[in-house]
Structures are given as C-alpha cells and as structure tokens.
Structure 1
Amino acid sequence: MSACLDKTILLQGLVDAELDAVNAAAFETHLKTCEGCHADFLRMLALREAVTAPSVTYRAPQRLRDNIEAMLSAHESAALAVARPTRARVSPWNIGGAGGLLAAGLGLMLIVPQMADNGLERQLVASHVRSLLVNHLTDVATADQHVVRPWFNGKVDVAPPVPQLADQGFPLVGGRLDYIDGRVAPAIVYKRRLHTVNLFAWPADERLFNGGKTVRRDGYTVEEWTAGGLRYAAVSDVDPKELKLFKAAFEAHSPDPSH
C-alpha cells in the first residue's frame, strides 16, 4: 500500500521538520489511520538515519581542515591583490577557472563534515518522535523500577539505572529497546505532565565524548552527559530548563557506580 498522492509533500515536510505546528499535528493524526502514509513515513525516517549513521559519515582530520582553510585564505589574498587597484574585494568563490572550482570544492569538503557532526542528535530526535507516532513508547509498561531494569538484562550490552523520579515530577512509564548510534540501546521512558522524556543509554567512548552538552533540534531538546561508563541522552519537547532538572534528578537518585 502506497502513501496518499495528495499527502506526498506533507509527508516529506514532516520528515524534514518543515511543517508548521498545525499541519504537523494534523498529518500526525492522519498517520495513525493511513497504513500507506505510515509505512512511507517509517521508510523515509530509516533512510535518513541510514545516510547519517556514523558508519557512512566521515569527519575530516583537523590537519586537513587547517590545510584547506590555509589554501582558501591564500586564494582570497591573491584575489585581493588582483583587485587592489580598484579597491574592490573579490571573493575566492568568484575566481575564474580552476581556482574558483578548487575553492568551491574545498569549501564543500569543509561543510560536509560539519553537517555530519549532527547525525547522532538527529537519530535521537527521530527515535523520540517515532516512539510517539507509532504507539511504540514502551516494550515493558510499568512504573516499577525493579521490573524495568531487569527486563533489559540479556537484551542489551548495558543495564542503566532506573531511578523512580515521581517525587521530582518525572514519573516512570516503562522501557523499550531502540537503535541508536549503530547498536541496540535501552530507552527508559518518563513523563513530565503531558510530555514524554525518552532517556537513551549506551557505553561511553571516552575518546569521542566526555562531558555533557545541550542541543536543540527541530523543536526538541537533547540533553547529553556521561556517568559510570555510560553515555546518556534525554530527549523531550519540554522546556530545556526542565530537561536539565530531569538530568539532575536522575543523577541524584542513581546509585554511585563506584560502590
């Protein structure tokens, strides 16, 4: 079954997060009743995740980036020297012949790795949205922390702590399996009033990430941190300050990994 012909543009717009809130909400309702559009939506999300996966992206070494920037700077200096009699600034992108093509090609090499850096956050937001759209928020639905954590045993490489945070305003809903950064990962689900917080966890690679950061993407906040050999990412559409409160509550009520 294929997607509705009159919904193609809306479908692509939803995948790319280009719809306004009204149209996005209306089309999300349509997805719940149309199998064809729903199937195409999942295929598009899977394709987007596949082309942004770490295995198919490449970050240029810093030395290469420095060399390219130096070459671009040299081209710009040469252009300025040629244009100096007329006091007109000539951009390296306007240099004719091979010089212009080289500058454009080198500039593209700089841009592509920067775009690839955002692949993980894009995956996290896509997984969060997908869990809400396809009614697959939990594989094990319970507010009992002593049920959720053991459920992950034997299914994933890590079993993160599952603290009960209802008293802090984040009641536990359950857990499920997801696919993040090229591996099956646990997702622990909490609520914040009418909002959902998905907390993903996977083994931390200290060579690549050590610390925390907050990223805003497509109207969602991704709060990332490392603790006890694990990398965490909490995703939600709540106010970023509330997601920081969630992080603080989670850390405060999680067992100390050193004990």
Structure 2
Amino acid sequence: MMCDDTRLLLHAYLDDELDAANSAAVAQHMQDCAACTARYGTYATLHKALAQPSLYRRAPDALRQRWSQARPVVAVPQSLPRRRAPLAFAMAAGFAGALLITSPAWFHAWRQPALGDDQLVAEVISGHVRSLQEQHLMDVVSTDQHTVKPWFEGKLDFSPRVKDLASEGFPLIGGRLDAVEGHGVAALIYKRRLHVINLYQWPADVAAAAQVQTQRHGYTVIRWRADGMQFVAISDVNENDLKQFVLAFQNEAGAPPAR
C-alpha cells in the first residue's frame, strides 16, 4: 500500500471502520512509514481533543427559557453529546499532536498494548459487533474442521487450531480473516444455541499466561496464551457458557485446563 492510499484510509482506520484486509494493510504500511505514522498521530490527537468534556458549554438561561417556551419541555439526560471544537482549536490540537510525534515508535506504543489492556478488549468487542453485520461473519462457511483449517493456508503466516466442539454444545460454523492490534488473525466462529462465539487466535511472542476474563457492554471476553499462541473468545452468551466453551477448546487442544 502506498502513502496516498494510506492517507485516504487513515480516518476510517482510526474509527475502526475498515475491513480486516485494509486494516492490516494500513497497520503494516505505518510500521515502515514515519510520515503516515505522524499523520495518524495528528488525527488521533485531534480525535481525543474533540472528545474532551471541557468543550461542552451549557446554554445561557435566557436561551434555554426561549427554547422551552417554543417547544414542550423534554427531560435532558445527564450525559450529553460533546460539541465539536471550533476549527481554530481543532487545527491547533492537530499541529500540537504532530510536534509530539517524532518516530514510528510512538505508533507501536500507542497501538499495541499488553494482553490485559482495555484497548485489546475494545478492539475485540468492536470486531465481534462488526462481524455480526450482514455478510461480515464468515469467509468460509463449514461445520467441518478439515474444511475450515485448510482454508487459512496461504492467507496467514501461521496455522490456526480448529476444533469441532459440537459434542460439547458448541458447533463450529465457519471462519474468517480479521485483524487485532494490527495483526492478521484467524477468527473461528462457533454457535451456542442462537448466540455467536468468536474465537480469535494469532502467534504470541511472550510466555504462556492464565486466562483473564472481562465483561463489558453485555459481552464476556476471555483471553489466554498457550503453546506460542494467543487466544481471545468473545460472545454475549452467559458467563458460564463461555467458560465452558474455553475449557472445552483448551482440553481439545491439549492445553492444561483453566483454573
């Protein structure tokens, strides 16, 4: 991907609106391009600046009174959308962000947090929700692990572990390519009655780690590392069901049971 292409996609990349292939391509390009990394940092700083609570201003009482006389009184929720900053402030924030960014190392530190960080959980939840949109869930549709596993060959630089857990109540229904923290990852899709379970996996360059569980926005996320791989399972099934799924996958994969 060239710089001109990357610049056109940076805003969508920041808002997590790209598909897996384009997201991975943009991340790869920025690893080698200081200019695009700096531009991305400027956008990220501006994005953060526009979300600051200090930008909100309460309307004067006189204006509120005129408005209430013109329209029926409606209860206003405590959490209000933040107004966007004036153009001058936005430009100043952008230039300040550009001055702070001096090397691609900043991009890696900002974009690649540790396993337990909130950013990883946020990306996984975003990817799970995006996958539930029409025609986003699966690239390969099959209940046969011997069909799903070979499909990834040549598309990733590792071979994912694919297990048929239908006997445990979690049938495999397919898989797809996705991206997490700029890595190309394998996403296996399982079902639990009417619920979808996404299981992400990619190579880990750190030692094995016990599972970590997080609950947010109605989703349960369970993460662990084993045998050189990093795994993240996410679903809106109840907590015990997802724990049972993880235990079944770990046992089938030959990993020690979770504690």
- If the length of structure 2 is used for normalisation, what is the TM-score? 0.54
Residue of structure 2 in register with 1:238 after alignment: 237
Equivalence for 1:166 = 166
AA aligned to 1:210 is A
Q: Does 1:45 align with 2:48?
A: no
Contact 1:138 1:175 in 2 (8 A): yes
* Match runs of 1:24-103 below 5 Å: 44-46=15-17
Do 1:197 and 1:234's aligned partners in 2 also have CA atoms closer than 8 Å?
yes
Q: Can you list the C-alpha shifts for 1:200-237, whole angstroms capped at 9, x where unaligned?
A: 00111326x72210011211111111122101000100
User: Structure 2 vs 1, CA of residues 167 and 41 (structure 1 numbering), >3 Å: closer, same or farther?
Assistant: farther
**How far 1:242 moved relative to its partner?**
0.8
Distance 1:242 1:224 in 2: 15
Tell me the residue number matched to 2:180.
Answer: 180
**Greater fraction of residues in helix:** 1
Identity value in percent: 44
Q: Output one character per residue of 1:53-80: Cα deviation in whole Å (capped at 9) or x when no partner.
A: 9x89xxxxxxxxxxxxxxxxxxxxxxxx
Q: How many pairs align?
A: 158
1:193 matches 2:193: yes
- Residue 42 of structure 1 and its aligned partner are, at CA, apart by 9.1
CA distance in 2, matches of 1:164, 1:137: 18
Runs of 5+ in structure 1 lacking a partner? Answer: 1-39, 57-112
Residue 216 of structure 1: aligned partner = 215
Which segment drifts farther, 219-228 or 171-180? 219-228
Q: Which residue identity is paired with 1:244?
A: K
CA distance 1:136–1:42, change in 2 (3 Å): farther
CA–CA separation in structure 2 for the residues paired with 1:182 and 1:41: 14
- 1:119 paired residue number: 119
What is the Cα deviation at residue 45 of structure 1? Answer: 3.2
Shift of 1:247: 0.5
Distance 1:216 1:250 in 2: 20
Larger Rg: 1
Q: Which residue of 2 aligns with 1:147?
A: 147
- Give SS of 2:17's match: helix
Q: Is the 8 A contact 2:209 2:226 kept in 1?
A: no
Q: Following TM superposition, by how much is the alpha carbon of 1:255 offset from its aligned partner in structure 2, in angstroms?
A: 4.7
Q: In the alignment, what sits opposite 2:253?
A: 254
Q: CA deviation at 1:256?
A: 6.3
Structure-1 separation of matches of 2:125 and 2:190: 16
Pair 1:239–1:194, CA change in 2 (3 A): same
- Distance of aligned partners of 1:220 and 1:197 in 2 relative to their CA distance in 1, 3 Å threshold: same
State TM-score, norm by structure 1.
0.54
Extract unaligned runs of 5+ from structure 2: 1-10, 32-36, 38-109
SS across alignment from 1:250: helix
> What is the rounded CA distance, in whole Å, between the counterparts of 2:242 and 2:144 in structure 1?
22
For 1:177, give the aligned amino acid: L
Q: Is 1:161–1:255's contact at 8 Å kept on the other side of the alignment?
A: no
Instruction: Work out the CA distance in 1 between the residues paired with 2:198 and 2:192.
Output: 11
Q: Distance in 2 between matches of 1:241 and 1:123?
A: 23
1 CA distance for matches of 2:134 and 2:123? 16
